[in-house]
Each structure stands twice: as structure tokens, then as C-alpha cells.
Structure 1
């Protein structure tokens, strides 16, 4: 018998959308309350505010879930949807501009790197030229300060003023080399002094 009453209560719960309370747990079901609930659910369009207040919160939530929203709610929903769409488009624009800025920044970074490398090469070239000029000036000064022409020639042969004049191959033939060696070995200057 208890099983039949529980089944009947479940049947009424599904049709009347009422709250199921088992008699075995100490609850009671009011037949008048169940019939009024059935009427409210079947005639959901004719529910007044007073009847909504009398409903328990679960029934009220079920009833309002299937009811058309009011104009104020529709207006708020449309404003919210517009705001969400605007945020999405703004986020897309921001992402596109950020990607463009990143590409431009990478391009500028590579260009700046190339310019800095060119400046460094130019500085090194200028320093090398300055060093070579100073070296040539000092060698010329040392050659000019020699007491004799023989020592000046000897120093000029040992210290060329320009680095490019140094070459691994010898441009002198045997006779020229012997003649230069004789001049360099002559300490008294007998080979060049003509009296």
C-alpha cells in the first residue's frame, strides 16, 4: 500500500509539477494545494503577482523560467549583447593592431641592428686609417731624424710607411739585392760617396 501511495505521489508530481514529499518521511500532501498547482501550471499565462508570491521559490523559478521576459529585461539583454559584440570587435582590432605593431617593431629592430653594425664597421675602418696615418707620420719623422742618409735608407727599408707596401713576394732580383746589401754593409760609405 505504501508503494502505491508513493507511486501516486510521483505521478502527481510529474503532472502537477508540485514538490514531492514522501509520507514515509513524515511529510503530507495537500490535495487542494496540488490541484491549484496543476491549474497554475496549465494556465501559466494567467498567473498574477499575488499567486506568484504564494508559490514556493522552486515553483516560482520554474514558472518564470518559461515566461517571456519583460521589456526592461529585454532592453538590458540587448544592451548587454551590444556591449559584448563591441568588446569582441574591439578585442579583434586590438589584436590586429598589436600584431601589426609587433611586425613593425621586428622590422625596426632588424633595421636598427643593421645600422648599428654599419656604424661599427665604419668606426673600425676610420680607426684603422687613423692608426695607419699616425704610424706613417712617426716612421717618416724617424727617417727624417736619422743622422746619415745611409741610416735613413736602412730604416726606410726596414720600416715601410705603408702596410700595403709589405708583400710576401720579393720584387728585387739577385743583382739589385746584392747591391742593396753592399750599400747596407758599407759602414764607411765608400760605395755611395763619390769624390
Structure 2
């Protein structure tokens, strides 16, 4: 990650994504499906959903940018990117154009990723995407947040059970737990 002039690590971005929900195009089956399609500088994840729909993601690479230079996109930007990929053959019978033309909802966003160097201050801790945002193609963001939460609660419960009659943790003990959580989950 790039360090900014004020010493804080900036968010970075190396990809963008059109997230979408579409009615099932005729070329895709109504049965449960997950389709992954890989192309040079782009890839797709397509998942069947209830009510004869498909959720899908088109990820494309961009030049790395940081912080306030990370772009926000318009619907016109989305349409231009979509049109550039209309010919991508996702299955033998379906192109990206087929999927996009059946869209119900779409959005083009920059995919930011980061790991902050410090997750806590005194008695406050951040976890999940607030501390360590993973690329959504890994499908591990929610899982990672839950694992960190479970580890944190386990450490707190263990520490409280070891307490004598005072029944609370000192700021130093909490800091040590938070530091351990970050070290183990970083």
C-alpha cells in the first residue's frame, strides 16, 4: 500500500466491477449454476438466484490509483465498459451482451482494497472490511469478518474467565487482546 504524506496508508484500487442482477437469458439453464469465465484483463462470476434470476460480476483491471484519485463511475461509464465486453462468450450459448440486456439492476464501482496498519485504539477496535477489505472475487470478506469477530469474542471471554473478583479488564489487558487479534488475523 502507498503511504500518503500524512503517514496514513491510502486505499488503493487496481480493478473495477459491474455488479448486476439479470433475468435469466434464454441460453442459461434454470437449474442452480455457478459460472466462472476468465479473459485477458477481465473475468466473470455468475451465480443463479431465486425467481429465475442470475447475479453476476464483471471484474476488469485498471491502472493502480490511490485515495482520492480512485474514480467514481457514471451509468455512461458502465454502458461503455459493458459494450466493450458484449462479445465475451460466457458459455457455449450465452455472451455477456445476453446477460447485460436482461439486467434488472447494475452498478459500476471501483474495487478498493486495503489493510489498515492499526485496527484499534484504546477500547475501540474495527474488524472486517473496516480494517481489512478483501477483493470481492475471493468471496471471503464476510467469512473473514466473522472469523475475526469469533476470534475476538473468544479472546475476550477467555480473559474475563481468568479475572478475579474485579470482573472487568484493564485498558492494558484490552489493548493486549486487540493487538493479538490483529496479529493473528492480519
TM-score w.r.t. the length of structure 1 is 0.21
Higher helix share: 1
Q: Which has the higher relative contact order, 1 or 2, with Cα contacts under 8 A spaced 6 or more apart?
A: 2
Higher strand share: 2
Q: Which has the larger radius of gyration?
A: 1
